[in-house]
Amino acid sequence: MGDAVGLMRMKILLIFPDVQDNLDLFSKGSGITNVVRPILGLGKSNMVPPLSLLMLAAVTPEDVEVQILDERLESIRFDQKADLVGISVVTKTALRAFEIADQFRQRSVRVVIGGIHPSVLPKECIQHADAVVIGEGEKVWPKLLEDLKAGSLKPFYYGGHTNDPSGHPWPKRSALAHPDWYLTTRIIMASRGCENQCTFCSCGAALGKRYRKRKVEDVVKEIQSVPGPVVHFLDDNLGWDPLFSKKLLRSLIPMKINWIGAFNVSALQDPELVELIAKSGGISIDIGFESISSQVITEIKKDRTNDLNQYRPVIQRLHDNGISIYGNFIVGFDHDQLTVFQDLINFIEETNIECPMVNILMPYPGSVLFRTLERQGRLLHKNWNYYDDTSPCVVYRPLNMSPEELTQGYLHVINSVNITSAYARRVLRAKTYNFTSVFLGYFFNAQKNRAVKSGLEKTSSALQLAYSKAADT
Ligand code: B12
Ligand code: SF4
């Protein structure tokens, strides 16, 4: 394994593993999307390509051949020639990533693993890899490749979370085997990191707690260079620095684009910002409401951005400006009672949030929540396949309800709010009629409903196991 790679042109294969991906609008197998996809020319499509691998491809030296294989779109040929395989891993894909890594290593191909899961659990991941990258990849990747060439690959590389993203090259979209199979490759990250420290969230372990911005001019140029129907900003929070947000939005106005992105509630309290969102082509905004209980907001340390009294005015302001809402909510917090489900349904119906994204609380490794539940002995298992916040599977023991009650309550919410008739009703009332956002919203709601049902079938045996374990203890 320590051999130097020869003088031939080095070939790297970067892999994004497949597991059922509930948030991807066009994931395999949905009846209506199968009909609509070819009409729209989308092929066998998923929503967006993996930015992590596009960034690694961008910092790969020119003399190295690099190709991105998205397993969600095509199968892996394990007999293909590669000097190195790099795999990007979130917790939900960890076990599949290990299988892929093991297969390549059996064929003497060296494997590097990176992403949020290995950054948090490097010792677990090194069991299946020749090297693990902890933190961001841009700075260490070229060094790692040099070490590989010299035959001195190290087990761990530390990329940190403080790189200045304005120094990064643009994502290398040409490394994608099938760019036209995605809904859009116009994915843009204008900033990195989030300074909030919400206890359930593991974003800090992924891109750090320091908010770092790119130059607005550079972001604008990147958008201009990529065609596509809609720009998808992948930033954790586009609203953290209002001066930066407003400068960016003003620069987008002349471009006449449609875009979607995430903002926090407190940023959206500013009417000027909301007007700029509308003028610059913001059609749907993703908001982390998380809960409508003040006790929960305090429990999860989200008071800094989430003032419950502002939820309704902010929603109204967005709707008045023709902007639709992806509203994120979580059920199963320690302060949640059995009433949480119906309360949430009522709130969503009253406020007409078009795309409610209600999930069961998921203790992702890297979050404060994970460490707390582990310490309290409340994790039911660590089978990463079920660490998926859009699945109906509960992986911990909730405080005021049983895991089964949490699953049933969650299903009740999904079956009430993510059905097409409820979606249409909310859009009509909110009067947010932008064609693209209505189209995306329709698929989002349908997909969420379908994904939960198929997830339930797949996970029912695991659920039974987890629930009986919970009942025993
Ligand atoms: C945008 C986004 C999405 C988008 C797009 C995902 C995509 N196709 O790329 C959508 C909405 C589709 C999505 C889906 C999901 N997401 Co998401 N997503 C994000 C978000 C906001 C940004 C990800 C991103 O593009 N970052 C930009 C790139 C450049 O950073 P990066 O991915 O971390 O990669 C860097 C390093 O990690 C490292 N690296 C990464 N991979 C590799 C590989 C190698 C070989 C090397 C050397 C280095 C390396 O180098 C990269 C460059 O610096 C993050 C939050 C965050 N702050 O990270 C959540 C986040 C990654 N998502 C999360 C989750 C849970 C999911 C879903 C599982 C949700 C679901 N239940 O379906 C799915 C899984 C999708 C998948 N298969 O990965 C969690 C993961 C938590 C965890 N521990 O697993 C995060 C952290 C948010 C959270 N709630 O905490 N997601
Ligand atoms: S939930 Fe949102 S605001 Fe809270 S830490 Fe995560 S990214 Fe930041």
Give 204-264 as a DSSP string. HHHH-SS-EE--HHHHHHHHHHS--S-EEE--S-TTSSHHHHHHHHHHHGGG---EEEEE-
In a domain, 123, yes or no: yes
Are residues 109 and 65 part of one domain? yes
Please state the atom number of ligand 1 nearest to the C-alpha of residue 201. Answer: 90
Ligand 2 atom 4 nearest Cα: 198
Ligand 1: centre distance to CA 90 (Å): 6
Ligand 2: centre distance to CA 264 (Å): 9
Domain around 204: 186-463
Query: At a CB cut-off of 8 Å and minimum separation 6, what does 119 contact?
Result: 133, 134, 135, 205, 206, 366
Tell whether ligand 1 has an atom less than 6 A from the beta carbon of residue 466.
no
Ligand 2: centre distance to CA 59 (Å): 28
Are residues 211 and 85 part of one domain? no
Ligand 1 atom 9 nearest Cα: 50
Instruction: Output the pLDDT for position 44.
Output: 44
CA distance 188 to 266: 23
In a domain, 22, yes or no: yes
Are residues 271 and 306 part of one domain? yes
Are residues 269 and 223 part of one domain? yes
Write out the H or E segment, with its range, that includes residue 15: strand 11-16
Mutate to test the pocket of ligand 1, among 20, 23, 112, 186 (most ligand atoms within 8 A of CB): 23
In a domain, 330, yes or no: yes
Tell whether ligand 2 has an atom less than 6 A from the beta carbon of residue 288.
yes
Ligand 2: centre distance to CA 366 (Å): 13
State the ligand closest to the CA atom of 54.
1
Are residues 352 and 279 part of one domain? yes
- Closest C-alpha among 223, 231, 179 to residue 41: 179
CA distance from start to end of the chain: 45
Tell whether ligand 1 has an atom less than 6 A from the beta carbon of residue 117.
yes
Which residues of the chain, if any, have pLDDT below 70?
1-8, 20-46, 454-473
Are residues 233 and 149 part of one domain? no
Ligand 1 atom 14 nearest Cα: 23
Please state the atom number of ligand 2 nearest to the C-alpha of residue 194. Answer: 8
Ligand 1: centre distance to CA 431 (Å): 32
Please state the atom number of ligand 2 nearest to the C-alpha of residue 290. Answer: 1
Are residues 429 and 338 part of one domain? yes
CB contact at 8 A, 321 and 277: yes
Characterize the bridge pairing of strands 84-88 and 110-114: parallel
Tell whether ligand 2 has an atom less than 6 A from the beta carbon of residue 191.
no
- CATH number of the domain encompassing residue 457: 3.80.30.20
CA torsion through residues 42, 174, 222, 157, sign: positive
Total tally of structural domains belonging to the chain: 2
Characterize the bridge pairing of strands 355-360 and 324-331: parallel
Query: Residue 367 is encoded by which pair of tokens?
Result: 């979050």
State the ligand closest to the CA atom of 113.
1
Write out the H or E segment, with its range, that includes residue 86: strand 84-88
User: 254 to each of 130, 189, 258, how far by Cα in Å?
Assistant: 48, 20, 12
Instruction: Output the pLDDT for position 183.
Output: 78
Characterize the bridge pairing of strands 65-70 and 11-16: parallel
Tell whether ligand 2 has an atom less than 6 A from the beta carbon of residue 121.
no
Ligand 1 atom 31 nearest Cα: 52
Are residues 112 and 258 part of one domain? no
Tell whether ligand 1 has an atom less than 6 A from the beta carbon of residue 288.
no
Are residues 390 and 298 part of one domain? yes
Instruction: Output the pLDDT for position 23.
Output: 45
Are residues 289 and 425 part of one domain? yes
- Closest C-alpha among 62, 26, 61, 32 to residue 46: 26
Tell whether ligand 2 has an atom less than 6 A from the beta carbon of residue 286.
no
Tell whether ligand 1 has an atom less than 6 A from the beta carbon of residue 226.
no
Query: Residue 462 is encoded by which pair of tokens?
Result: 């695991």
Instruction: Output the pLDDT for position 390.
Output: 77
CA distance 264 to 111: 38
Instruction: Output the pLDDT for position 111.
Output: 98
CA atoms within 13 A on the CB side of 69: 19
- CATH number of the domain encompassing residue 111: 3.40.50.280
Bridge partners, residue 337, by sequence: none
In a domain, 316, yes or no: yes
Mutate to test the pocket of ligand 1, among 18, 20, 52 (most ligand atoms within 8 A of CB): 52
User: 205 to each of 30, 105, 193, how far by Cα in Å?
Assistant: 33, 28, 9
Query: At a CB cut-off of 8 Å and minimum separation 6, what does 311 contact?
Result: 265, 289, 292, 351
Ligand 1: centre distance to CA 117 (Å): 10
Query: At a CB cut-off of 8 Å and minimum separation 6, what does 8 contact?
Result: none
Tell whether ligand 1 has an atom less than 6 A from the beta carbon of residue 203.
yes
CA distance 397 to 402: 7
| DSSP per position, 370-423 | HHHHHHTT-B----GGG--TTSS---B--SSS-HHHHHHHHHHHHHHHSSHHHH
In a domain, 169, yes or no: no
State the ligand closest to the CA atom of 265.
2
Are residues 284 and 352 part of one domain? yes
Mutate to test the pocket of ligand 1, among 16, 110, 112, 116 (most ligand atoms within 8 A of CB): 116
Write out the H or E segment, with its range, that includes residue 470: helix 435-472
CA distance 382 to 12: 31
In a domain, 370, yes or no: yes
- Closest C-alpha among 341, 403, 399 to residue 369: 399
Mutate to test the pocket of ligand 1, among 92, 157, 198, 328 (most ligand atoms within 8 A of CB): 92
Tell whether ligand 1 has an atom less than 6 A from the beta carbon of residue 367.
no
Give the pLDDT confidence of 371-409 residue by residue, as tens digits: 999 999 999 999 998 898 878 889 999 999 999 999 999
Cβ–Cβ contacts within 10 Å for residue 2, how many?
A: 9
Query: At a CB cut-off of 8 Å and minimum separation 6, what does 420 contact?
Result: 442, 445, 446
Are residues 98 and 201 part of one domain? no
Tell whether ligand 2 has an atom less than 6 A from the beta carbon of residue 207.
no
In a domain, 46, yes or no: yes
Tell whether ligand 2 has an atom less than 6 A from the beta carbon of residue 391.
no
In a domain, 171, yes or no: no
State the ligand closest to the CA atom of 162.
1
